[in-house]
Amino acid sequence: MDIQVSIPADDIGPEKVVILREPGVGLEAILVVDNTAAGPAIGGIRMATDVSVGEVFRLARAMTFKNAAAGLRHGGAKSGIVADPDMPDHDKERLVRALAHAMSDITDYIPGPDMGLTEANMAQIHDEIGRVVGLPPAMGGIPLDTLGATGFGVAVAVEVAEEMDRVRIDASRVVVQGVGAVGIHAARFLARRGASIVGVSDSRGAIVAPDGLDLDGLIAFKQAGNHVGEFPGGTVARGSDLIGLDCEIWVPAARPDVFTAANAHEVRAKVIAEGANIPATAEAEAIFHERGVIVLPDFIANAGGVICGAVEYGGGNEREAFTTIEEKIRANTREVLERSVAADVAPRVAATEMARARVLEMMGYRRSF
């Protein structure tokens, strides 16, 4: 496979762009260490057939800003394995172990789980290099996907929007695109606060129910290995049908660039809580701002996972992780929305200015000679 390397560098990064290959096992991978001013970079490994250098760089930059905004002693990075995440487990393990071996000397990168990988894969990386977050509980890890750390943070961000009179959760209909480890828990925490889940999707299809889905039934159905399109509690739809579905809260929790200039005008939500990384193009977010749709940016709203990982890496426990997630995401979301209103700019612009200033301040303490 010919991996093209062409990304925009600036005064923040990236520090490293590494292509990792092991032909013997079919490994094709990309690692971007964007910035380590705060400390060794934390960022997940995702597996997808179409992952690219550009996508990994954008995700690494999001991690730089996410970790800086959260006040973590870690910089930002990301990696991607070009492969089918639905491959047999033993084949996936071979690729994961090969990647770990290939990056064993890149000690300023601490990998973690992302789309397509699991706690078991993190244990395999730990076995190879001893440097990872997102471990199984038996190895001292905090089960962030099982507990829903990222989804919890997304719900906290929406709570702040409610406190600022942007939405009323207990009167809201919610759409969730991607009911995996992030989306299903974001739905669960919002439903606990009285919201009605009216549309969900996974990689195979979507289902809608204007009067609300049986979320507990859907969760059990998914945990049994089924796809949402087979769930009997609603009407089967295409994933793209969710874009313009009537709702107040829309949670993208899957792939990048779900919202573009071509479909942003179709969205009917009042609040978009970005559970996924880079789920909207810059053009789409500009349109949302013009329309008065509040976007809770990814590196603010979905920081729960990396906060949990950092707490785990520092030897903390589950209670400490969730307390820290709530404190940091609540404070950052409020600051971003207040800055957005005061300057009449999109929340992402306000969030980027805030995070960028923090990164540059940390870089100022680096040795310059």
- 92 catalytic, yes or no? no
* 351 and 312 assigned to the same domain: yes
* 237 and 115 assigned to the same domain: no
pLDDT in tens, 78-110: 999 999 999 999 999 999 999 999 999 999 999
Q: Which amino acid is at 125?
A: I
Q: Sign of the CA dihedral 110, 114, 119, 122?
A: negative
Q: Domain end: 141, 168, 191, which one?
A: 141
Cβ-contact 82, 28 below 8 angstroms:
yes
pLDDT in tens, 319-357: 999 999 999 999 999 999 999 999 999 999 999 999 999
* 103 and 232 assigned to the same domain: no
Domain count, the chain: 2
> Where residue 142 falls among pLDDT bands split at 50, 70, 90?
very high
Residue 117: CATH number of its domain = 3.40.50.10860
Q: What is the pLDDT of residue 271?
A: 98
- Rounded Cα distance between 149 and 305, Å, is 5
- Is there a domain that residue 331 lies in? yes
- Is there a domain that residue 298 lies in? yes
* 221 and 86 assigned to the same domain: no
Q: What is the pLDDT of residue 1?
A: 52
Nearest one of 253, 288, 237, 246 to 268, comparing CA atoms: 246
* 195 and 339 assigned to the same domain: yes
> Where residue 3 falls among pLDDT bands split at 50, 70, 90?
low
* 244 and 343 assigned to the same domain: yes
* 296 and 158 assigned to the same domain: yes
- Is there a domain that residue 205 lies in? yes
Catalytic residue among 78, 92, 222, 328: 78
- Is there a domain that residue 368 lies in? no
- Is there a domain that residue 363 lies in? no
* 53 and 136 assigned to the same domain: yes
Token pair listed for 132: 């990872």
* 161 and 231 assigned to the same domain: yes
- Is there a domain that residue 293 lies in? yes
* 253 and 347 assigned to the same domain: yes
In this prediction the pTM is: 0.92
* 160 and 102 assigned to the same domain: no
Q: What is the pLDDT of residue 197?
A: 98
State which residues form the domain around 129: 16-61+76-141
* 102 and 202 assigned to the same domain: no
- Is there a domain that residue 38 lies in? yes
